[in-house]
Structure 1
Amino acid sequence: MSSAAAPTQQRSGVPAPRHGLARRGSAFFSRHPRLRLGFLIAAPLLWLGIVYVVALAALLVTAFWSVDSFTGEITQSWTLDNIITVLTGSLYQVVTLRTVGVALLVTVIDVLIALPIAFFMAKVAGPRMQRILVIAVLMPLWASYLVKAYAWRSVLSQDGILQWLLTPFGGSTPGYGLTATIITLSYLWLPYVILPIYAGLERVPDSLLEASGDLGGRTWMTLRLVTLPLIWPAIIAGSIFSFSLSLGDYLTVNIVGGANQMLGNLVFTNVGAANNLPLAAAIALIPIAIIFGYLALVRRTGALDNL
């Protein structure tokens, strides 16, 4: 019976399954875990290298080119004119200070709002309520960025719902401008600040808070001397999101900012209307340099481990 089955299998032309090569490969990678990890992250690293590193390198190179004033064509000749213009021009200095100021103020507002919300989620709410609150924090992220920005434009307008609520008390809405920009950006980036702080508070043992209370520590003293130092890296991690996202934003300023400009608006104007890509690239280097400097400052706090 077995002798008859063997020729039949050979005549069918279907090779027997080969498991030897797969077993050898699995055994090889099990003996070399670092090599296995390298193969796993090779594709993502290659993609990140192409999308980000190469794009930044191209941006840096473009900043040293120029535009022919007659033809409007980009001249690929090396020059420092764009860099000098950005560093010495009063317009770019004013817009840079305005952009950094708005980004810092948005970050401070978001941290102050996120701290009590994250603390309630992590240390007060029960497991079911925690899940509900996490979903509530994430729900704004499901809506379109433009929808949320235009919603705030409607709320903050002179005929909006906020004006209707404040009129009986003699108040008025801020209208369009930097105040509206700060309010809108604070709302947009708040979930990105709440979640890292919430994750940091979850890692704080409840026994430490109980021990502080047993030793006579009051609520504010416990928060200041025990909780805050432990979650400081998480706070910095959340601030990275709000600061960097505000630093590069330009759509919100166009929608609710009125005539005020930020660095993103100058980049957009020079790319589109002015058709001056080298100058736009030089301006874009400013927020990139600022955020890299900020990351270098917070690297020692361990905040990057919370991202």
Structure 2
Amino acid sequence: MAAFLHRRAGVRLSLLLSAPLAWLGLAYLGALAALFLTAFYGTDTFTGELIRTFTWANFQDLVTTEVYRTIALRSLGVALAVTAIDLVVAFPMAFAMAKLASPRSRRWLVIAVLTPLWASYLVKAYAWRVMLSSGGLLGWGFGVTATILTLAYLWLPYMILPIYAGLERLPDSLLEAAGDLGARASRVFRTIVWPLAFPAVVAGSIFTFSLSLGDYIAVKIVGGRSQLIGNVVYDNIGAANNLPFAAAVATVPVLIMLVYLAAVRRTGALENL
């Protein structure tokens, strides 16, 4: 058997990957398939029982009802705003870590970035609730702005670390050569730093965008009466007991992410990750 596997690298690779691929197929792809299938079912309005009959009614309600269109657009706007804020904050921090800090300081800075991830999600979200309440440090109240600030804080490390990894691979000789040739800082950033760091920015944005798009806990804690896609899904699974409509709503962030990944792929950034 050992000699047979030694001569056939493809068979070895297939056996090695069979277990994780089977788990991926059952746990992830299988769950997605069940989600899409349930979205085309209906419910009995009297008993609340699931009716396994194909129907477009859930998607028709989702598209034709103005409140759901507004929630979808609001969720998209929140995800874009969180990603933009995290990019503006993370890029200079990552550049300072990768190019300005000493090797010893760099390790401590990476630990400092990772430290918030060790704390509980709920603790951090409720800490922002206390700060944003009327008697808190900021006192801005709750709503979409509070949700954006909270999510931007929660997902910031997921933007810093990919950009830091990308900038760390940027050769210092390129920056030195550009400086020796008289290029200004703005031109160095535009022609050297940004093009080479763009794939890392895309990697970070995938995390911040997708996590913000599907979040519902932070909205419950600091969002006040605001609703995003995640809250609609949760409410229809729980109080409304309308699993098919919840599944239809849950397909919206999946489709948005597919469109986002397709747009990013056209830039060639994914091939350079």
| Alignment TM-score, normalising by the size of structure 2 | 0.97
Residue of structure 2 equivalent to 1:254: 220
CA offset at residue 219 of structure 1?
Answer: 1.5
Q: Distance in 2 between matches of 1:59 and 1:230?
A: 38
Aligned length: 273
Counterpart of 2:157 (choices 191, 205, 227) is 191
CA offset at residue 42 of structure 1?
Answer: 1.6
Residue of structure 2 equivalent to 1:30: 6
Residue of structure 1 equivalent to 2:189: 223
CA offset at residue 306 of structure 1?
Answer: 6.7
Residue of structure 2 equivalent to 1:266: 232
State the Cα deviation string for residues 146-166 of structure 1 (Å, max 9, x = none): 11100100111111123xxxx
CA offset at residue 31 of structure 1?
Answer: 2.9
Does 2:109 correspond to 1:133? yes
Residue of structure 2 equivalent to 1:19: none
Name which one, 1 or 2, has greater alpha-carbon Rg: 1
State the Cα deviation string for residues 1-52 of structure 1 (Å, max 9, x = none): xxxxxxxxxxxxxxxxxxxxxxx51x43333333322222221111111111
Q: Percent identity?
A: 60
Is the Cα contact below 8 Å between 1:60 and 1:285 reproduced in 2? yes
CA offset at residue 70 of structure 1?
Answer: 1.2
In the alignment, structure 1 segments of 5+ residues that lack a partner are 1-23, 163-172
CA offset at residue 68 of structure 1?
Answer: 0.4
Structure 1 residues 243 and 50 mapped into 2: Cα distance closer, same or farther (>3 Å)? same
Alignment of 1:171-250 (within 5 A): 173-250=139-216
State the Cα deviation string for residues 191-230 of structure 1 (Å, max 9, x = none): 0001110111011111111110011111221111111011
* Matched letter for residue 160 of structure 2: I
CA offset at residue 302 of structure 1?
Answer: 4.3
Q: Distance in 2 between matches of 1:145 and 1:304?
A: 29
* Matched letter for residue 236 of structure 1: V
Secondary structure of the 2:141 match is: coil
Residue of structure 2 equivalent to 1:299: 265
* Matched letter for residue 221 of structure 2: I
Q: Distance in 2 between matches of 1:305 and 1:157?
A: 44
RMSD: 1.3
* Matched letter for residue 135 of structure 1: I
State the Cα deviation string for residues 143-192 of structure 1 (Å, max 9, x = none): 11111100100111111123xxxxxxxxxx32111111000000000000
State the Cα deviation string for residues 212-253 of structure 1 (Å, max 9, x = none): 001111122111111101111110111010000000000000
In the alignment, structure 2 segments of 5+ residues that lack a partner are none
Residue of structure 2 equivalent to 1:146: 122
CA offset at residue 277 of structure 1?
Answer: 0.1
Q: Distance in 2 between matches of 1:214 and 1:103?
A: 40
| Alignment TM-score, normalising by the size of structure 1 | 0.86
Q: Distance in 2 between matches of 1:179 and 1:255?
A: 13
Residue of structure 2 equivalent to 1:69: 45
Deviates more, 1:88-97 or 1:34-43: 34-43
